[in-house]
A and B are shown apart, each in its own frame.
Chain A
Amino acid sequence: MAARRIGVEVVVGSNRRQVLEDYSHGGTLTLNFRDTEIGTQQIVDYAKEHALEAIVSVDDEALVLAAKASSVLGLPHNSLESIFSIRNKFRMREKIFKAGLPSPEFHLFSIHKNPEQLSSQVNFPCVLKPTFLAASRGVIRANHPKEFKQAFHRIKSILKDPEVKSLGGESADEILVEDYIPGQEVALEGLMMKGELQVLALFDKPDPLEGPFFEETIYVTPSRLPPFVQEQVVQNIFRSAQALGLMEGPIHAELRFNENGSWLVELSPRTIGGLCSRTLRFGTGLTLEEIVLRHALRLPINSMEREKKASGVMMIPIPKSGILKKITGKEKAKKVLGVEEVSFLIPTGQQVISLPEGHRYLGFIFARGETPAQVESSLREAHRNLEILIDPA
């Protein structure tokens, strides 16, 4: 849609074969994401007949392939080294630590080690996480050795899932353990341009994310934090992006701050996940995707100033795992003042999986308002109207 609005042709590369690919006249391309040598060759072969001007990855999984193919084709891209660092949370932590930025103590452990022995090497509370999964999948807080052991085994079982193992490769044999960082969490949407950070939006996350699992819920922008804190957050993320070698393209970062400063939690060279980008409008109505595409194609961007209104999204929490039986109250939720959309991604009758094993959002509520407080209130009220019935599987 963004490409159409700009008026450029787009080819969608996916690891899932598009059912009408043979009729799309090069509009879709099936790629090998797991073996990036093969995937790169597929893109290079395609480019022999179709001129490519930019390759943009829309999620974490395709980052390495997009960077490799861009490198071979001489298209603008972030260095492969930076992408490799970012795709592994341990390597990212190492880079941030070496750059002298605030870092929690962290350790990388093999899943084959004895968690009872490992627990003596870490501080409590701590957070255990896989090094390569997204959307808080497999991220668990442990307050003492017993919880550490339980969390370790739970993550180990996620990592043994054949699909996860295939995705992570050798990284599926590792668990990263970091000191738990108390404090409030924010998310930043930005665009790196010639090594400089252009902030597109800073989101508050008003729900406390204290564990044991870290389910994303509400994002609201603009941030209500004092300007000096916002500045500190932005500076930390800019310095982190520099330390990771990111020069061009979108970044999505999550960061915590407390009385000891601001602490990077995650940073990825992509846009915000799921449907969340629908919260953002810029200049004369540009979407986030249009800005990213315009930047990738070196087209002018008249304004990257976010609209005046406050906006926000709630990633609808999955209360428990099971079969989604029924969702009621959607129409009532839509009628809440300020609510613009209530969308569900998982149809009734399908399995829903809560964190830490889950990796799909149930749905989203979007709202706009005059103030961030109004938006937050609209999102919460809309959510209260929803009744989500789940039968245990």
Chain B
Amino acid sequence: MIKITEIAREKVLAAMEAEKRERQALRVTVKNGGTVNVQYGLMFDEEAKKEPNDAVVDGGGFNLLIDAKSVPFLEEATVDYVSNLNGSGFKITTPAAPELPTPDLSTPEAQAVQKVIIEKINPGVASHGGNVTLVDVKDGMAYLRLGGGCQGCGMVDVTLKQGIEVMIKESVPAIKGVLDITDHAGGSNPYYQPSK
């Protein structure tokens, strides 16, 4: 389970005291867990707002709260506090999800895909409130994240394979295909509801 370094613990306690956050806990969140775009978050939260399925970890003077969905992504994670030339702040690292290299979107292929998305695809899907983001280009595959009306849309597979992929491959022959890394279950406003 998640650990907190001594310096991070002291920083949390100091912040709690300075901001008069008695009876509060430190909530740890994970967004896009298991993907190249994983994002960790830390925030103070009322102990009373603890959900029944939240995991609770003793941080030494306060509790760490983790929602059930995020628990698997925080196995053996460490909350640290780091200071360097770029500044200082809390940092979460996990052996299960080591720091991933930032995708290189400056390559000619990535730039060309980006151009198609900006100039053709996004203006097209905008009519359904959707948007497409290029996440990475690797081994001839373009990794995409779909948002807005595309996220969770009942027609998303068709949009992806019969529309987006066709347009990208046509403009960037080096691309062999597209892969969708969207969490479609998280879509809150899909344009078409899945029919079943």
A18–B128 CA distance with the chains assembled, in angstroms: 10
Chain A contacts of B121 at CB under 8 A? 20
Interface presence of B39 (CB below 8 A)? no
Interface presence of B130 (CB below 8 A)? yes
Closest A residue by C-beta to B183: A347
Which of A23-31, A146-154, A229-237 lies on the face that meets chain B?
A: A23-31
The 8 A CB mask of B170-195 against A (1 = contact, 0 = none) is 00000000000000111110111111
Complex partner residue of B53 from A18, A28, A328, CB under 8 angstroms: A328
Contact assessment for A360 and B190 in the assembled complex, using a CB-CB cutoff below 8 Å: no
Complex partner residue of B196 from A274, A329, A343, CB under 8 angstroms: A274
B78-95, CB < 8 A from A: none
A237–B152 CA distance with the chains assembled, in angstroms: 37
In the assembled complex, the CB of A232 is this many whole angstroms from the nearest CB of chain B, namely: 30
Interface presence of B155 (CB below 8 A)? yes
- If A331-B68, A347-B190, A350-B188 touch, does A360 touch B196 (CB 8 Å cutoff)? yes
The 8 A CB mask of A297-333 against B (1 = contact, 0 = none) is 0000000000000000000000000000010111110
Closest B residue by C-beta to A11: B162
Interface presence of B141 (CB below 8 A)? no
A16–B128 CA distance with the chains assembled, in angstroms: 12
In the assembled complex, the CB of A324 is this many whole angstroms from the nearest CB of chain B, namely: 10
Q: How many residues of B contact A (CB 8 A)?
A: 38
Q: How many residues of A contact B (CB 8 A)?
A: 37
Chain A contacts of B125 at CB under 8 A? 19-20
Interface presence of B120 (CB below 8 A)? yes
Contact assessment for B159 and A20 in the assembled complex, using a CB-CB cutoff below 8 Å: yes
A345–B193 CA distance with the chains assembled, in angstroms: 9
Interface presence of A361 (CB below 8 A)? yes
A119–B128 CA distance with the chains assembled, in angstroms: 48
Interface presence of A135 (CB below 8 A)? yes
A349–B187 CA distance with the chains assembled, in angstroms: 9
A14–B154 CA distance with the chains assembled, in angstroms: 11
Interface presence of B166 (CB below 8 A)? yes
- If A16-B192, A27-B162 touch, does A331 touch B187 (CB 8 Å cutoff)? no
Contact assessment for B127 and A347 in the assembled complex, using a CB-CB cutoff below 8 Å: no
Complex partner residue of A347 from B53, B128, B158, B186, CB under 8 angstroms: B186
Complex partner residue of A329 from B68, B167, B185, B191, CB under 8 angstroms: B68
Contact assessment for B195 and A360 in the assembled complex, using a CB-CB cutoff below 8 Å: yes
Contact assessment for A359 and B69 in the assembled complex, using a CB-CB cutoff below 8 Å: no
In the assembled complex, the CB of A319 is this many whole angstroms from the nearest CB of chain B, namely: 16
Complex partner residue of B188 from A28, A329, A349, CB under 8 angstroms: A349
Contact assessment for A28 and B158 in the assembled complex, using a CB-CB cutoff below 8 Å: yes
Interface presence of A12 (CB below 8 A)? yes
Contact assessment for B162 and A12 in the assembled complex, using a CB-CB cutoff below 8 Å: yes
Interface presence of B71 (CB below 8 A)? yes
In the assembled complex, the CB of A149 is this many whole angstroms from the nearest CB of chain B, namely: 30
The 8 A CB mask of A138-171 against B (1 = contact, 0 = none) is 0000000000000000000000000000000000
Chain B contacts of A359 at CB under 8 A? 196
Interface presence of B140 (CB below 8 A)? no
Interface presence of A214 (CB below 8 A)? no
Chain A contacts of B52 at CB under 8 A? 387
Closest A residue by C-beta to B193: A360
Chain B contacts of A14 at CB under 8 A? 155, 158
A350–B151 CA distance with the chains assembled, in angstroms: 13
Chain B contacts of A28 at CB under 8 A? 158, 162-163
Chain A contacts of B186 at CB under 8 A? 347-348
Contact assessment for B196 and A273 in the assembled complex, using a CB-CB cutoff below 8 Å: yes
- If A24-B166, A329-B53, A387-B53 touch, does A19 touch B159 (CB 8 Å cutoff)? yes
Chain B contacts of A328 at CB under 8 A? 51, 53, 67-69
Interface presence of B41 (CB below 8 A)? no
In the assembled complex, the CB of A364 is this many whole angstroms from the nearest CB of chain B, namely: 10
Contact assessment for B196 and A12 in the assembled complex, using a CB-CB cutoff below 8 Å: no
Interface core residue of B71, B188, B196 (most chain A CB under 10 Å)? B196
Complex partner residue of A19 from B53, B163, B188, CB under 8 angstroms: B163
The 8 A CB mask of B118-135 against A (1 = contact, 0 = none) is 001100110110100000
Interface presence of B164 (CB below 8 A)? yes
A193–B162 CA distance with the chains assembled, in angstroms: 30
Contact assessment for A18 and B69 in the assembled complex, using a CB-CB cutoff below 8 Å: no
Closest B residue by C-beta to A18: B158
20 extra interface residue pairs, beta carbon distance < 8 Å, beyond A27-B162, A328-B51, A361-B196? A1-B161, A12-B158, A12-B162, A16-B154, A18-B155, A18-B159, A18-B162, A19-B124, A19-B159, A19-B191, A20-B124, A22-B124, A27-B161, A274-B196, A344-B185, A346-B194, A347-B184, A347-B185, A347-B188, A348-B188
Which are the 3 A-B pairs with shortest beta-carbon distances?
A20-B163, A27-B162, A328-B53
